[in-house]
Amino acid sequence: MIIIESVAEMQQFARQRRGEIALVPTMGYLHEGHASLMVEARKRAKTVVVSIFVNPTQFGVNEDLDSYPRDFERDRKVASAAGVDVIFAPKAADMYPAGYQSYLNVEGLTTELCGASRPGHFRGVTTVVAKLFNIVMPSVALFGKKDFQQLAVIRRMVQDFNFDVEIVGMPIVREADGLALSSRNARLDPEQRRQALCLSRSIAAAREAFRGGERAVAVLRQKALALIEAESAAELDYLEFRDQDTLLPLQIADERTLLALAVRVGPVRLIDNCVLGEE
Ligand code: AMP
């Protein structure tokens, strides 16, 4: 496995391997969720590149850019164990040098859900992912459904801007007790970690009611919400039932309905989701 820090060097490498590269974009502090993307990437291309970059343009002014967990040595081991060929870990000053002034923005989809609570977030995400596509030149790029809206926004960007890359969405990897893996989980103390289970439990409650035949979103939402409200450290950002393609609100749920939620637990904002009809 090789480590590349320079953008120019990464691009030089990518030119030689063009057509055989799978990219897994990450912000590091790698866990089993990231590893599942790397393992799938390994099956889909001869060369697997993992980018590790805590992208400043996707963090708002009062968000956790400075406290975002980082551990390059650990990341190196996780990536190596997953069979990664290249870690691309650029410096912010190389990605956004003095004079930088170009951004890519997907409209519509980015005004909903996380886009509503994190203005500018997706503009930063699409900008950095577009840059990574131009630098790493992947034929395929893998993203987790944990960030369901991000995946939808990136698919839209790829279609609208004719990026020549296949986008693969991968299932959410969870802890044994249901908590979706996230680098941010490392910042929860034991009591907050316990209370963070309310996200997956609230999803389970809504699914159970859905499986029992309930279709009214108002009723499903109330059942899911009760689990969040029961935890003292949990502060709801949103809990929404949406069309999984447009991300627009629904009154009546069906098998394809997305349940997405964001909840602040202590110092971190956690997200989770499910499609009601999927396992
Ligand atoms: P991040 O480092 O949080 O930006 O995540 C990098 C990629 O890993 C994104 O495509 C995420 O959706 C994906 N990812 C993060 N957590 C999980 C998880 N628990 N299961 C599956 N994919 C994940």
The whole-number average pLDDT for the span 7-33 is 98
Residue type, 170: M
Average pLDDT, the chain: 98
Catalytic (active-site) positions: 34
Pick out the residues of the known binding site.
27-34, 58, 144-147, 150, 173, 181-184
Q: In what order do the strands lie in the sheet with 47-52?
A: 2-4, 86-88, 47-52, 21-26, 140-144, 166-170
CA of 146 to the centre of ligand 1 (A): 6
pLDDT digits (tens, 9 = 90+) for 138-177: 999 999 999 999 999 999 999 999 999 999 999 999 999 9
Cβ-proximal residues to 129 (8 Å cutoff; 6+ apart), any chain = 25, 141, 154, 157
Cβ burial of 274 (10 Å; 0-12, 13-18, 19+) is buried
HSE toward the beta carbon, residue 133, CA cutoff 13 A: 22
Percent of the chain with pLDDT over 90: 100
Count of CB atoms within 10 A of residue 271's CB? 21
pLDDT for the residue 44: 98
SS3 60: coil
- The pick from 143, 272, 274 for probing ligand 1's pocket by mutation, whose C-beta has the most ligand atoms within 8 angstroms, reads 143
Parallel, antiparallel or unpaired: strands 140-144 and 268-275 = unpaired
Using a 6 Å cutoff on CB, does residue 124 contact ligand 1? Answer: no
Which band of pLDDT confidence, cut at 50, 70 and 90, is reported for residue 123? very high
The whole-number average pLDDT for the span 205-222 is 98
Rounded CA separation 60/120 (Å):
7
Which phi and psi angles does 47 have, rounded to 5°? -120, 125
pLDDT for the residue 266: 96
Rounded CA separation 132/155 (Å):
15
Rounded CA separation 239/233 (Å):
16
- pTM recorded for the entire structure: 0.98
pLDDT for the residue 192: 98
Query: H helices of 45-89, where?
Result: 72-81
Count of CB atoms within 10 A of residue 272's CB? 24
Q: Is the separation of the CB atoms in 194 and 232 below 8 Å?
A: no
Q: Is the separation of the CB atoms in 131 and 163 below 8 Å?
A: no
Radius of gyration of the chain (CA): 19
pLDDT for the residue 279: 81
pLDDT digits (tens, 9 = 90+) for 63-98: 999 999 999 999 999 999 999 999 999 999 999 999
Using a 6 Å cutoff on CB, does residue 180 contact ligand 1? Answer: yes
- The pick from 147, 199, 269 for probing ligand 1's pocket by mutation, whose C-beta has the most ligand atoms within 8 angstroms, reads 147
pLDDT digits (tens, 9 = 90+) for 236-247: 999 999 999 999
pLDDT for the residue 189: 98
